[in-house]
Structures are given as C-alpha cells and as structure tokens.
Amino acid sequence: MTTIIERLEAVRRHYNLSGRGLADRLGQRPSTVTNYLNGTQAPKLEFIENILRLFPEVSAEWLIRGQGSMLIVDQPDVAELKKQYETELLVKEGIIKELRSIILEKNQDKQSLDRQQLVG
C-alpha cells in the first residue's frame, strides 16, 4: 500500500507538474507543497480538498485511503452499450448473410443481373 505522500506525488506526476507548478495551481506557497511532497510535513485536510477540487477525476477514496484506482472512470450505461452492440451485431450478421448469398450464387453461376453488376 502506498502512503498519502506517494499518492500526492503520483498526482503531481500524472498531471506533469513540478512542485512549484502544483503549488501555483493550488494557490499554495511552493515551500508548503514541497514539505508535503517530501514528507517533512503532513498534508492538511484543506490541501487534500484543494487537490480533489482542482482535479475532480482523482478519486478521493484513492487519495485519502489508498483504495481503488487513482482516477474515477465514468461507468458506461450497460443497457445502452448492450443495445448498441446488439444493433451492430444484427447489421453485421445481415451483411454476412448477404455476402454469403452473393458468394454462393457466384460459385453456382446462378447470379442475378443486379448482383452481377454489384459484384462484377
């Protein structure tokens, strides 16, 4: 398990910020942020809250307790995804059946005129 100091450092690295850059973004003194990042001083709750406000995609559970993933991932609507994939699957199955039919007709020399023009 990582420490809160390591997790704060991971946030800083993830957003490609220097200690000073993070301090500027948070409106903190660089020396204060440096003390938090190197473990000289324990980060105050206000600092943690500011991190979570500045980076809303960072999981509070991860930052404070070290549990879960660093970033909150939006969970897609399962029903919507299912509907989307079922529709795509039906379309693809229809295309496959049509292509199969064209191939069989071509192989049997029983191809209709409109399909001959389509396939060549």
> Do both 9 and 61 map to the same domain?
yes
pLDDT higher than threshold 80 for residue 31: yes
Residue with tokens 């709750």: 45
Expressed as residue numbers, the domain containing 86 is 78-119
> Do both 56 and 12 map to the same domain?
yes
Q: ∠13-16-20 over CA atoms, to 5°?
A: 90
Instruction: Give the number of C-alpha atoms closer than 13 A to the C-alpha of residue 5, restricted to the C-beta side.
Output: 10
Task: Give pLDDT tens digits for 36-53.
Answer: 999 999 999 999 999 999
Listed in sequence order, the residues at least 6 apart from 90 whose beta carbon sits closer than 8 Å to its beta carbon are none
Task: Give pLDDT tens digits for 50-100.
Answer: 999 999 999 999 999 999 889 987 666 677 778 888 888 888 888 888 888
Residue 102's pLDDT band, with cuts at 50, 70 and 90, is confident
> Do both 93 and 59 map to the same domain?
no
In a domain, 17, yes or no: yes
Rounded-to-integer distance, Cα 117 and Cα 107, Å:
15
What separation in angstroms does the CA of 50 have from each of 53, 55, 63, 69? 5, 8, 12, 19
Task: Give pTM, 2 decimals.
Answer: 0.60
Q: CATH number for the domain including 36?
A: 1.10.260.40
3-state class (DSSP) for residue 58: strand
